[in-house]
Amino acid sequence: DAKTTQPNSMESNEEEPVHLPCNHSTISGTDYIHWYRQLPSQGPEYVIHGLTSNVNNRMASLAIAEDRKSSTLILHRATLRDAAVYYCILRDGGSGGSNYKLTFGKGTLLTVNP
Amino acid sequence: AAGVIQSPRHLIKEKRETATLKCYPIPRHDTVYWYQQGPGQDPQFLISFYEKMQSDKGSIPDRFSAQQFSDYHSELNMSSLELGDSALYFCASSYPSGSSYNEQFFGPGTRLTVL
């Protein structure tokens, strides 16, 4: 799996937007960009994914650069419950059903201040 | 909604003992993954099963084995436990529909402590 680079930590204030960046300069054409997060003492949780176009869901938005070498996870209004480690993960969409594992790198620890 | 169930939630073992961790996927999910997360570390993929067959293997020690049963639940068997096996073990399940973007649903984890 291609590597991703994220800042070690970021800080935000409650009810403000948060932009979490991810660099993936070696991304291949078949790689999907996934975001998971892990709240303290819990298992990882799916947030969002995309391939080329920007994506929105109830949790967040994903903005993908035109060259796909970077992406940004956007939390529109951070809450205390959003404090977690956020992982940007590339998953090969061309390897078939036997290669759906998640390869976690060093994610970003998001701190939300009240 | 039903979630992934893992048992036990906590397990304490002595060195060289054996441990068995169980995972019950979300109904109709036929793919199970096991991950290990050491203290202060990120989750690392161990092994996965699709339709009761091993589908992928990561950095899983030879002392560990796993299988998926006919009801799709999975068990991770760990023998000759070492202090370094102390970690959180997560199970995740997903329903593959032929694409790679199916989200994985994680269980709460089993915390294994080896003394």
As a three-state string, the secondary structure of B44-112 is EEEEEEECCEEEEECCCCCCEEEEECCCCCEEEEECCCCHHHCEEEEEEEECCCCCCCCCCEECCCEEE
Q: Which two tokens stand for residue B15?
A: 């060195």
Instruction: Please tell me which of the candidates B55, B103, B107 has its beta carbon nearest to residue A46.
Output: B103
Tens-place pLDDT, residues B5-51: 999 999 999 999 999 999 999 998 888 999 999 999 999 999 999 88
Q: From chain B, pick out residues whose CB is under 8 angstroms from the CB of A49.
A: 101, 103
- Residue A98 sits at φ, ψ, to 5 deg, of -95, 5
CA atoms of A38 and A71, how far apart (whole Å): 19
- How many contacts, defined by CB atoms under 8 Å, are there between A and B? 74
Spatial contact of B63 and B70, defined as CB atoms under 8 Å apart: no
The fraction of chain B above a pLDDT of 90, given in percent, is: 80
* pLDDT for the residue A48: 95
Instruction: Please tell me which of the candidates B42, B48, B96 has its beta carbon nearest to residue A104.
Output: B42
Average pLDDT of A66-79?
96
* Chain A, nearest residue to B100 by Cα: A93
* pLDDT for the residue A98: 46
Residue B67: Cβ within 10 Å count = 15
Q: Note whether A42 contacts B: Cβ–Cβ < 8 A.
A: yes
